[in-house]
Amino acid sequence: MAGPSPHRPERTCIGCRETAPRDQLMRLVREPAPDGTAPQIRLDPRKVAPGRGAWLHPDASCLDLALRRGGLARFFRGAVRTDQLLGDLEAFEPTIQWK
């Protein structure tokens, strides 16, 4: 007799708004800006950084949807900068054309 299947936490992608198991998504976190400008969004490859985190499929179309629809700003409750995010994503997933 087989036991119950293990629990797999699910999260919602901020781009396509579909739910998926946590291990299939990338976590993005907000880093406060010391100079008073808009906070910077960074990739959290270990998925354990403190603070509010957003989840995104490792797919350029989901990132495009999140940027076009304002999903990042809405989720992080205000204006955010994404200039560092693209570099993080290209280093983490070099096989994907991010922009």
- Average confidence (pLDDT) per 10 residues, the chain, 99 residues: 75 95 94 82 91 91 92 88 86 77
Strands (E), 1-99: 10-12, 19-21, 26-31, 40-44, 53-56
Cα distance between residue 30 and residue 51, in whole Å: 7
Q: In what order do the strands lie in the sheet with 40-44?
A: 40-44, 26-31, 53-56
Q: Which residues contact 2 (CB under 8 A, 6 or more apart)?
A: none
What pLDDT is attached to residue 62?
94
Cα distance between residue 14 and residue 62, in whole Å: 8
Domains of the chain from N-terminus onward: 11-92 (3.30.1230.10)
What pLDDT is attached to residue 1?
54
